[in-house]
Amino acid sequence: MSNGQQPTAPTPGTWAEPRKILVILAHPDDPEFFCGATLARWARAGHHIEYCLMTCGDKGYNDTTTPQHVSTAELCGRRHEEQRAAASVIGARAVHFLDRPDGYLVADLELRRDIVRTIRRLRPDIVVTCDPQTLFAAYGINHPDHRAAGQAVLDAVFPAAGNASYFPELIAEGFAPHMPSEIWCALTNQPSVILDVTDTWPMKLEALLKHSSQIGDIEKFKARMLTRRVEGSSEENPRFEEKFRVVKYG
């Protein structure tokens, strides 16, 4: 530029035009736990958000809230309902379930094909998933379903979703190749984008409370979530961040 200034790069996660954002993760409650405040901000900004969850979380059992006699089928149904209510708080427009068995997710070709089909059918600009390299999280060992989900989504995005040579049977089903332009991986230990999400943190909390089969004591849960504030910010005036590893195409 003539005045010697560099043009300002656009802030990550702010798009001038409405974007279609597809969140693909393993379990009900993952979207809210991993990145709910960011999703709420994007919905508030007018972007179109949908979720695709690979399992219905039928082993996601909390001894203090879920009676022992609840069957996996009942819990699956309950978690669908909880997830739809939470998505509605966030401002997501639809929730799709692949309903694979909870806890046994494997990033195999069948799962990859199902995700490629979903991407080609819904044609998102942005895909949100989680970082498959996260073996250890702040709370201990990262759930194997989270790792498998992240791996399957990344493998589906590249090189398969946008390339007609992969899964040609999906073309026969009517789903043309489609390549998203950005992939946002939450739950990462290698963030490239850190967003201050203090303003929409209350929406994340409200959405999480819809997952009542998972939450247990509400006050203890709220206290635990308050400990996730940015180091150095106070309990009275907390600041919150969500972190992502972002890959861009095109």
Q: How far is the CB of 227 from Zn ion (least distance, A)?
A: 19
**In whole angstroms, what is the distance from residue 182 CA to residue 184 CA?**
7
Task: Return the number of the residue (149 or 195) whose C-beta is nearest Zn ion.
Answer: 149
Nearer to Zn ion, 118 or 134 (CB): 134
When binding is defined by CB under 5 A, the residue of 28, 30, 43, 175 that contacts Zn ion is 30
Least Cα distance to 99 among 69, 82, 68, 76 occurs for: 76
Task: Please answer whether residues 115 and 153 qualify as being in contact, where contact means their C-beta atoms are separated by less than 8 angstroms.
Answer: yes
Tell whether residue 155 is a contact of Zn ion (CB under 5 A). Answer: no
Judged by beta carbon, residue 150 or residue 162, the one nearer Zn ion is 150
Dig out the tokens for 47 from the structure. 């972007």
3-state DSSP assignment of residue 89: helix
Residue (of 144, 184, 137, 179) closest to 162 by Cα position? 179
Are the C-beta atoms of 77 and 60 separated by less than 8 Å?
no
Which residue is nearest to Zn ion, using beta carbons?
A: 27
Judged by CB under 5 A, the stretch of 20-28, 37-45, 70-78, 108-116 that binds Zn ion is: 20-28
Part of the chain binding Zn ion (CB under 5 A), chosen from 27-35, 131-139, 161-169, 181-189: 27-35
Q: Which residue, 30 or 131, is less far from Zn ion as judged by CB?
A: 30
Computed on alpha carbons and rounded to an integer, the radius of gyration of the chain in Å comes to 18
Residues in contact with Zn ion by CB under 5 A are 27, 30
